[in-house]
Structure 1
Amino acid sequence: MIGCLVLHGFTGGPYEVEPLAEYLREQTDWKIVVPTLPGHGETLSLRGIKHVQWIEHAEECLKSLLETCDKVYVAGFSMGGLIASYLAVHYNVSKLVLLSAAARYIHIKQLFRDIGGLIREGWQGNLLENELYNRYKVKMTNTPLLSTYEFRKVVTIARPLLKKVTIPTFIAQGEVDGIVPPASAAYIYETISSRQKNIYYASRSKHLICHSEDKAELFDHIYHFLEDE
């Protein structure tokens, strides 16, 4: 049996990666696991949660898959991509998928473009219908400042390990991502030591790459990458 662990991002939840997980469930008979990291989910409760708890929770989920599956893949979105890279270095993971992985973060120019779009929608009376606005309004009002420092600790731990990633890796990045710049994907591609590595840029994707307009093409690329021997 093949297992696949799919990790969401900082201040997010399984909903961020569920479209990919559902696609893989439809295409395969793999055991797909999409955990909720401590303090995350539809209702955030991050106060007092440490970065090691996120990593340890992901580790426990991976260990469980490794005990029951012949082969295990790990995919991670944003901060989940960094945790996935950490797991790939320390455990017997067969393939790695990194989605908008936050080796670098905050794409200032695109973020201002997104804010400009929100302002225009506000003038037109459509602001409350904007998914970006609604998602990030909740995140900004429910994320303790100390939790942001815990996120940065994940980056500090995981980024130096990228050069130790040697397994086949698929890197995907949205070209209009206002949180993680395309330069992050290029940096990861150049840094990892994998002999088999692919990089894919989704031209219409913002940060939530699994919810992008061109997600079907992205998912097809991921599926074939994981299926190929």
Structure 2
Amino acid sequence: MQIGVLYIHGFTGNTLEVMPIVEYLQEKEPQWIVSVPTLTGHGTELRLRGVTSQHWLRDVENAYRQLQSKVDKVIVVGFSMGGMLAMYLALRYPVEKLVLLSASAKYIAPRQLLLAAAELVRKKNRDDENVKLVKSYAYKWRSVTLPSLLQFLDIVHVVTPYLQKIDIPVFIVQGEKDGIVPKKTADFLYNELGTKKKEIYFSKNGYHHICYSDDRSAWFQEVHRFICNEYKKTEYYA
């Protein structure tokens, strides 16, 4: 059986946000087919003028269809707004499993979104990956307008009312020190999702960019286990 994994980055972000888990899982399962698209208006430069939520929905639908044509099963991994887009796909298409990283479903602080990389700056021991991510955000703090933020929130409003309809296995990862998407958002998701097959992992020292958390190797292993096997327990802490 051929497995495909679609990774979706967050608002104002790029593929660097998810690259650590992409690389980890590819090392473990090199036979998997991977798709890591860049959303319209995103990338090394932000070009969000005139870009709407419909562009992002279309982006992920196109990426899903292209991947699905090559594989038997599709897993979707979404970070922040990408988590909302992942759930949107699960509502519309056959998705085998979902992995939601710092998913921005509720209680989010939109004004703080552009300061998320500052969390990494404050960390004492930054590796090369962290530095790359911080640099990629430096110019963005001045570039995002209110209309763009409203398009991001539109994604949230499109998906959130239908969480009960999601009945596939879901793995949620949430940093307890996330200043953008608080812990209670993960609790909300866990309680509202219709599936009975769901797990939640709380990283005690994790910030919003959870793929760069100090304990990422631990929860990467759990995500790998979740994708490959069945479910062992519903809630645990780093």
TM-score by length of 2: 0.85
Q: How far is the alpha carbon of 1:139 from its aligned partner?
A: 2.4
Distance in 1, matches of 2:196 and 2:100, equals 16
* Structure 1: runs of 5 or more not aligned: 122-128
- Percent sequence identity over aligned pairs: 41
Match of 1:22 in 2: 23
Structure with the largest fraction of helix: 1
2:227 counterpart of 1:226: yes
Q: How far is the alpha carbon of 1:95 from its aligned partner?
A: 0.3
2:213 counterpart of 1:212: yes
Give the number of equivalent residue pairs: 219
Q: Deviations over 1:8-32 (max 9, x none)?
A: 0000000000111111110001011
Contact 2:73 2:96 in 1 (8 A): yes
Structure-2 change in CA distance of 1:169 and 1:115 (3 Å): closer
2:123 counterpart of 1:143: no
Letter in 2 for 1:214: D
Letter in 1 for 2:219: L
Contact 1:107 1:177 in 2 (8 A): no
Query: What's the secondary structure of 1:9's corresponding residue?
Result: coil
Distance in 2, matches of 1:211 and 1:116, equals 10
Letter in 1 for 2:95: V
2:41 aligned to 30, 39, 48, which one?
A: 39
Letter in 2 for 1:180: V
Structure-2 change in CA distance of 1:10 and 1:117 (3 Å): closer
Tell me the C-alpha RMSD between the 2 structures: 2.7
Distance in 2, matches of 1:60 and 1:117, equals 32
TM-score by length of 1: 0.88
Ranges of 4+ aligned residues in structure 1 off by more than 3 Å: 114-119, 129-137
1:99 aligned to 98, 101, 115, which one?
A: 101
Query: What's the secondary structure of 1:68's corresponding residue?
Result: coil
* Structure 2: runs of 5 or more not aligned: 125-129, 231-238
Q: Deviations over 1:156-182 (max 9, x none)?
A: 101112111100000010010011001
Match of 2:127 in 1: none
